[in-house]
Structure 1
Amino acid sequence: MAIKIDTRYPSIDDLRNKARKKIPKFAFEYLDGGCNEDVNLHRNTSELREVQLKPNYLRNHGGSSTKTKLFGIEYDAPFGIAPVGLQGLMWPNSPEILAKAAFDHNIPFILSTVTTTSIERAAEITEGKAWFQLYHPTKDELRDDILKRAEAAECPVLVILCDVPSFGFRPRDIRNGLAMPPKMNISNILQAFGRPHWSLQTLKHGVPGFANLLPYMPKDLDLKQLGKFMDQTFSGRLNEEKIKPIRDMWKGKIVLKGVASHYDAEQAIRLGLDGIIVSNHGGRQLDAGESTIKPLTSIAEKYGNQIEVMMDSGIRSGVDVARSLASGAKFTFMGRSFMYGVAALGKNGGNHTISLLKTELQQVMEQICCEKVEDFPNHLI
């Protein structure tokens, strides 16, 4: 797809600033915040940006390509759209906007179990190319039914999440009534009135809900009952006994997301999984944990020839993508960056953000004389 950037917003920071002005405070803080004191949220990006790249200016250079293969599929760039819950809260219809943009640009889009568009709709938009991320249900029959739906939708990759054994402690969300069970308060209502474009779009598309879970939810749940339903329906804690039946049932590729230690990487390999995403959930789960770039480097070095090693959390630019690839990641994913784009620019946000990241990454590759994505480690200082 042709690269087209809105020159008013030539960085993710510009999109973030615009998003802050476009959407209600409670929605922006849900998107933007980490957990506890936000220490690991900021560490993710600051420590990633300590990575330096070496240029080789006098080398013969035949041009650079951002194309790369992952699980036998060639993508136009080595980054994709990470799963994000409740996307429609931040901008109405945003998962569909992002799924379409990902399809048009030939990059992966991962749909979350708890976002606001269904597996079936995402598959329709992407012609069966959307990946699916599973929050582990407490009941086997619900797990099996969701997996059958994902298989019927021809999702090529299943992502299972291991870093949510408990809900992250997020003070902003608690103050704003977005913890479980959620609740609306007068402050939220006033904030919505102060963002008329967001409010009108929400009225047009309907109040966001958990689209994938509608077949399993009792009708007319109030907010308190919704919290109880979610607590009873899902358990974020994974172990070998929970992963084995998924591996037996799912015939496609399986990726474990949330890996932050050698132990979990070794377990993923032993259980026959196809890939891991080194991640700390965007700094939203463990404030006292490491930044993602720290375990990525050693995990990729030790296990990169046994399993596909990817990364998310803290990546905010095409330059950050380059830093991650040079440090050993085979592929990268971003969540907030794309949501800032959609919150800022609505239906044009997905295409703009992908185009911006592609342009930044291409510039880095040309600057350091890196012809192929897989050559990035040769430029790590």
Structure 2
Amino acid sequence: MSPSNHPPAGPVLADRLRREAISVPALRLMARRALPRAVFDFSDGGAEDEYTLRRNEAAFGRYAFLPRPLDGAPVRDQSLRLFGMDLSMPVMIGPTGLAGLFWPGAETLAVRAANNAGTAYCASHGSVCTLEDIAATGAPNRLMQVFVYRDRGFTRELTERAAQAGYKALVLTLDNQLHGKRDRDLRNGFTIPPRFGLADTLAMATKLPWLLRMGRELPTLTFGNYRREGQPSDIRTLAARMHDMFDPAMTWADVDELRRVWKGPLILKGVLHPAEAAEAVARGMDGVIVSNHGGRQLDHAVSSIEALPGVVHAVDGRIPVLLDGGVRRGTDVVKALALGATACFIARPYLWALSVGGEAGVAHVLELFRDEIDRAMGLLGVTSLRQLTPEVLAPVPSLGAAA
């Protein structure tokens, strides 16, 4: 079903979002109730023991705010210009494969919600629809995710398609060349598309809205960007083929080649080491994203917010530094910006919102972040993002009891 055939949020859904979806953690609980367990865990889980997954969120607690309310902040401005895009807020939607598993037409609905909110959307290589379908929405602020494949010709093909479709920037993801071991998916026997055992089927009575929405979509679900004329395009075949396409032998020479092919802003995603960030600047990258793939790849990797100061220092203001991983509150965004990030991406929060409200859910979660950032700025006594510096933070070695 095309997104245009989905009706806008009615008063019942809008009222429910206002009453229940008061925060990202609340949206997560709503998504857990709405989705089959295997589908929810696919979005919620991380690699192995999920140490990095948990630390991504918890490490924001290492920083406390030092407000100066007498500086006065009657009006706060969250706007910024980034990679040729004018954004109304420092939160963008990051790339997430198989978003169409959570709501029909997910990618096109999400890019539309991002556009209406005045922010940007990064299309995943593993989107259910094609990158051209996403571009056809007319939303201008779009980025495209690519990888270095064993078939370098396919890397170039996706890059050229992104250029032809008018994507503003290319995001080369570095940390998915070997697939992480995700224990929750293994325990659930998660497959693409999902197969449900007897217990899952019996439990499905509580997931009827999802089943009714997705029932006609699941048999035709696929990876739109990987379809080839005259070749099998079912998702199981494509998933098996994709597993072997990523090349763990990639090097900086591949990055240099992509830099020659792509003429627009080129951003490296998955940078945690300061030396790699410095090398990215030296090789002409236009930005880096501090990211550990949401804790879904290498467990026990450093958290994104812990890695951020070292990367910012190495880059030394020469290119923008962005962050994803563990961002659950507007205060997390404010802390990241105070430590030198230019903006943040969200992934799981938008999938949870999508699961309970489609396009209206995505619009809602972006407004949650906007409101929480605005409130934090006002209480800190700052009026613009430029005033978010390390001086508004105090490091705390551990969290004590709440007052």
> TM-score, with normalisation over the residues of structure 2?
0.88
Preserved contact between residue 227 and residue 233 of structure 2 (Cα < 8 Å): no
Match of 2:269 in 1: 257
1:227 and 1:163 map into 2 onto residues whose CA distance is 18
Worse overlay, 259-268 or 136-145: 136-145
Preserved contact between residue 92 and residue 345 of structure 2 (Cα < 8 Å): yes
Counterpart among 213, 217, 223 of residue 210 in structure 1: 223
Preserved contact between residue 109 and residue 130 of structure 1 (Cα < 8 Å): yes
| One-letter amino acid of the structure 1 residue matched with residue 393 of structure 2 | L
| One-letter amino acid of the structure 2 residue matched with residue 331 of structure 1 | A
Match of 1:118 in 2: 130
2:118 and 2:62 map into 1 onto residues whose CA distance is 30
CA gap 1:227/1:104 in 2 versus in 1, 3 angstroms: closer
Match of 1:219 in 2: 232
> C-alpha displacement at 1:206, in angstroms?
4.8
Counterpart among 40, 43, 46 of residue 34 in structure 1: 46
1:257 and 1:217 map into 2 onto residues whose CA distance is 33
1:110 and 1:193 map into 2 onto residues whose CA distance is 34
Report the 3-state secondary structure (helix = DSSP H, G, I; strand = E; otherwise coil) of the residue aligned with 1:52: strand
Preserved contact between residue 76 and residue 382 of structure 2 (Cα < 8 Å): yes
2:360 and 2:70 map into 1 onto residues whose CA distance is 39
Worse overlay, 14-23 or 295-304: 295-304
> C-alpha displacement at 1:217, in angstroms?
7.8
| One-letter amino acid of the structure 2 residue matched with residue 296 of structure 1 | L
Give the alignment of 1:300-319 within 5 angstroms: 300-319=312-331
CA gap 1:220/1:370 in 2 versus in 1, 3 angstroms: closer
The Cα offsets for residues 146-192 of structure 1, whole Å up to 9 and x where unpaired, read as 1111111100010001111311111111123336x877352555555
Correspondence 1:133 to 2:145: yes
Match of 1:198 in 2: 210
2:285 and 2:128 map into 1 onto residues whose CA distance is 28
1:369 and 1:183 map into 2 onto residues whose CA distance is 49
1:242 and 1:256 map into 2 onto residues whose CA distance is 12
**Percent identity between the aligned chains?**
27
Report the 3-state secondary structure (helix = DSSP H, G, I; strand = E; otherwise coil) of the residue aligned with 1:106: coil
Preserved contact between residue 182 and residue 227 of structure 1 (Cα < 8 Å): no
Correspondence 1:153 to 2:154: no
2:332 and 2:229 map into 1 onto residues whose CA distance is 40
> C-alpha displacement at 1:380, in angstroms?
2.2
1:203 and 1:258 map into 2 onto residues whose CA distance is 35
Correspondence 1:186 to 2:197: yes
Correspondence 1:349 to 2:342: no
1:169 and 1:79 map into 2 onto residues whose CA distance is 29
1:292 and 1:44 map into 2 onto residues whose CA distance is 6
CA gap 1:248/1:191 in 2 versus in 1, 3 angstroms: farther
CA gap 1:354/1:139 in 2 versus in 1, 3 angstroms: same
CA gap 1:222/1:174 in 2 versus in 1, 3 angstroms: same
> C-alpha displacement at 1:331, in angstroms?
0.9
The Cα offsets for residues 82-138 of structure 1, whole Å up to 9 and x where unpaired, read as 101111123332222211100111111001101212111111224342110013222
| One-letter amino acid of the structure 2 residue matched with residue 184 of structure 1 | R
Match of 1:45 in 2: 57
> C-alpha displacement at 1:62, in angstroms?
4.8
| One-letter amino acid of the structure 1 residue matched with residue 254 of structure 2 | K
Preserved contact between residue 29 and residue 173 of structure 1 (Cα < 8 Å): yes
Preserved contact between residue 321 and residue 342 of structure 2 (Cα < 8 Å): yes
RMSD: 2.2
> C-alpha displacement at 1:237, in angstroms?
5.2
Correspondence 1:272 to 2:301: no
Correspondence 1:329 to 2:325: no
Match of 1:105 in 2: 117
Preserved contact between residue 16 and residue 344 of structure 1 (Cα < 8 Å): no
The Cα offsets for residues 13-34 of structure 1, whole Å up to 9 and x where unpaired, read as 1100010011110000000001
> C-alpha displacement at 1:276, in angstroms?
0.2
1:117 and 1:222 map into 2 onto residues whose CA distance is 12
Match of 2:304 in 1: 292
CA gap 1:248/1:326 in 2 versus in 1, 3 angstroms: same
Counterpart among 54, 69, 73 of residue 57 in structure 1: 69
Gaps of 5+ in 1: none
> C-alpha displacement at 1:221, in angstroms?
4.8
Give the alignment of 1:4-19 within 5 angstroms: 6-19=18-31
Match of 1:85 in 2: 97
Report the 3-state secondary structure (helix = DSSP H, G, I; strand = E; otherwise coil) of the residue aligned with 2:64: coil
1:174 and 1:146 map into 2 onto residues whose CA distance is 30
Report the 3-state secondary structure (helix = DSSP H, G, I; strand = E; otherwise coil) of the residue aligned with 2:345: strand
Gaps of 5+ in 2: 1-13, 395-403
> C-alpha displacement at 1:193, in angstroms?
5.5
| One-letter amino acid of the structure 2 residue matched with residue 287 of structure 1 | D
Counterpart among 233, 240, 256 of residue 228 in structure 1: 240
> TM-score, with normalisation over the residues of structure 1?
0.93
1:25 and 1:140 map into 2 onto residues whose CA distance is 37
2:279 and 2:337 map into 1 onto residues whose CA distance is 23
CA gap 1:220/1:262 in 2 versus in 1, 3 angstroms: closer
